[in-house]
Structure 1
Amino acid sequence: MKRLAVGPITTPEYIEWWGRTINDNISEPKLENKIEQMEEEKMNLRLDMDVQKLETEKFRKGKNKAEGDLDSLKTDYERLRCLMKAAGLGKTSEQWCQEI
C-alpha cells in the first residue's frame, strides 16, 4: 500500500493527480465482475427467499390437511361410539359377564 506524506510540498494539484492515478489503476473488468457478482448474489438471495416461501406454503398445506384428517377421525370415532352404545356393544367384559 502506498502512503501519501502530507507536508509543505503537497499541493492540491498533486492530491488531484494522485487521486486520478489511483482511480485509473482500477480496471473496468474488475468493476464489471464485482457488479456481476453482486447481481448474482441478489438473484441467489431472491431464489432462496422464493424456496423458503414455497417450503412454508407446503408446510401450511400439510398442516391444514393433517388437522382436517384429525377432525374427520374424531367425528368418525364419536359416530362409532354412539353406534356401539346404541347396539349395546360398548360394555366392558364384566358387564357382559353379568348380563350372561
Structure 2
Amino acid sequence: MHLRLDADVQKLEAEKLRKEKMKVEEDRDDLKEEYKKIQLSRKKAGLGKTSE
C-alpha cells in the first residue's frame, strides 16, 4: 500500500512538472514573438543605425 501511495505522489509531481514546463514554453514563445515584433518595428523606424 505504501508503494502505491509513493507512485501516485510521483505521478502527480510529474504531471505538475509537465504543466509547468508547458507554461514556461508558452511564455517563451510569446516572448520570442514579441521580440520579433519589436525588431521589425525598430527596423521600420530606422532605429539602431549609427549616424556619421
Q: TM-score, normalised by structure 2?
A: 0.92
Structure 2 residue 3 is matched with structure 1 residue 60: no
Runs of 4+ in structure 1 off by over 2 angstroms are none
The residue that corresponds to 1:9 in the other structure is none
Structure 2 residue 43 is matched with structure 1 residue 85: yes
Structure 1 unaligned spans of 5+: 1-42
The residue that corresponds to 2:34 in the other structure is 76
- Structure number with bigger Rg: 1
Q: Supply the RMSD in Å over aligned alpha carbons.
A: 0.8
* Corresponding pairs, count: 52
CA distance in 1, matches of 2:32, 2:48: 17
- Between the aligned residues of both structures, percent identity stands at 56
The residue that corresponds to 2:2 in the other structure is 44
CA distance in 2, matches of 1:71, 1:90: 24
Question: Any idea what SS the aligned residue of 1:77 has?
Answer: helix
Check conservation: 1:81, 1:90, Cα contact below 8 A: no
Question: Any idea what SS the aligned residue of 2:48 has?
Answer: coil
In the TM superposition, what whole-angstrom CA distance separates every residue of 1:2-23 from its partner, at most 9, and x where no partner exists? xxxxxxxxxxxxxxxxxxxxxx
Check conservation: 1:84, 1:90, Cα contact below 8 A: yes
